[in-house]
Amino acid sequence: MPTIKTMPTRAFLAALLLLQTAAAQSRKLDSLSDFSHSIRALTQKVSPAVVQIVVTGYGSAEENGNLAGAALTRQRSTGSGVVVDAEGYIVTNAHVVRGAISVRVLVAAAKRSESGAPLEAKIIGIDRGTDIALIKVDRSGLATLPFGDSDALRQGDLVLAVGSPLGLQNSVSMGVVSSPARQISEDNPLAYIQTDASINPGNSGGALINVDGQLMGINSFIYTQSGGSQGIGFAVPSNVVQNVYQQLKRKGHVHRGEVGVFVQDITPLIATGLKLPQDYGVLVSDVLPGGPADKAGLKTRDIISSLENKPIEFARDFELVFYRRQKGDEISLKVVREGREMPEAIVIEVAEQEDEDDALADSVKPETNLISRLGILCIEIDARIAKLLPDLRQPDGIIVAAKSPAGQGRYIDLEAGDVIHAMNDTPVGSLESFRTNVVNFKAGDPVVLSIERAGVFRYLAFEIE
């Protein structure tokens, strides 16, 4: 019989281990290759829906750090936007299109042979509270991105940032969610998505994408000491963006809800001083008399334990809900009162928040408010604007918003915030009548303006150039 030689055990195990190692390395290479192909496919899918925005407009150039002498300069800037409706609706940041005279959109060409000529865009609406704006181009059939559920994001989730950093159109970077809900300051209740995906100037208004190709946020700003990306970027969550988009598309502006209540985080010191039953949670510090919360039965020193049947830990979580609620909606609260949880939920009907803080800024449109001969940008005082300026001694005239270095205004002692009440003893009246009177002056004609500055009347005299 033939003799069968067996491989020594040690040599056999070594060979087997070598084969297993090679197989494992092959699987790793295959996994890396598959991952790379997946990212490539995802990028190709989402990139056509992210556009570059080129804005020409007016901006304020501070002179020696003095805001009162702010000059108005013509500027050109770039940003990014996301197509959310195939009929040409594009979401971007409000600061990207602020002060715009013209807005042009560069859509990624579907083919190399296409020119990719810029499209003129119209500003549909701006919401400064969330720094979101909606613009529209006259083009249909555009690639779009679907909204995802930003509440589903978790720390460590993989995301892509798509936009035009530093004017480099259609750039993609990859990172993770550093925090799904980061509050930047106590004055701003909006919780942002923090990411380490590389974001630089020009990315503003671009898309933050999850691995399913859904829009999870609009990239808005970065924390930096160098001016470039340091891995700390922030995006407005998609659930907030979607609500703002729908309102801007429908009405051109945003009506945010409120219920007439103020809340704050409970600290151990507050809990001890007020003898509260817990040293954490959300405390009702004030309820406006006659407001929705007051009518529903909410009281000062109530502790809110749940909102919409979800436990609530921080005051910002309560304030954030109103970025998604409108007049007529209802919210349900469970509260702890005097150490006992109330058996029934308190249901409050949401009222409309007054957005008077933005009214003055919304009134400025360089194409209609510029008095070009004098080189000043002015706002006409009407009943709405007068309400914002209760300290005015005479509630009429026009307000100087800024000065242009191109006009005579740079030589006139006018400051941003001055109110012009009369010109050559004639009441100013409307902005249009003031502009007409200025145009009708001849070179060398004397002009005396009666202005109000910080509550004091004075005269400014000069000759028309």
Q: Provide CB contacts within 8 A for 268, sequence distance 6+.
A: 279
User: In this predicted model, what pLDDT tens digit does every residue of 62-79 receive, in sequence order?
Assistant: 444 444 444 556 678 899
Most confident of 8-12, 157-161, 319-323, 374-378: 157-161
Tokens of 212: 């399913």
CATH number of 358-463: 2.30.42.10
- Catalytic annotation, residues: 95, 131, 204
The secondary structure element, H or E, covering residue 89 is strand 89-93
pLDDT digits (tens, 9 = 90+) for 22-58: 666 666 666 778 888 888 999 999 999 999 999 987 6
pLDDT tens digits for range 340-365: 999 999 999 988 776 544 555 555 56
Asked if 308 contacts 332 with a C-beta cutoff of 8 angstroms, the reply is yes
**pTM for this entry:** 0.68
Share of the chain above pLDDT 70, in %: 82
Q: Report the top-level CATH class of 150-251.
A: mainly beta
Tokens representing residue 70 in the block: 């702010």
Mean pLDDT value across the chain? 83
| CA neighbor of 462 nearest in space, from 418, 417, 409, 422 | 409
Give the right CATH number for 48-137 from 3.30.70.520, 2.40.10.10, 3.30.930.10, 3.40.50.2000: 2.40.10.10
The CATH architecture assigned to 257-352 reads Roll (2.30)
Asked whether the domain spanning 358-463 has the same topology as the one spanning 257-352, the reply is: yes
pLDDT at 48: 93
pLDDT for residue 404 is more than 80:
no
Q: How do the domains of the chain map onto residue ranges?
A: 48-137, 150-251, 257-352, 358-463
The residue that leads in pLDDT, 405 or 191, is 191
**Is 423 a residue whose pLDDT tops 60?**
yes
Structure confidence by residue, pLDDT tens digits, 172-225:
999 999 999 888 876 677 889 999 998 888 899 999 999 999 999 999 988 876
Q: Across 154-293, where does the E strand assignment appear?
A: 158-163, 171-185, 188-195, 207-209, 215-222, 233-237, 257-258, 261-265, 282-287
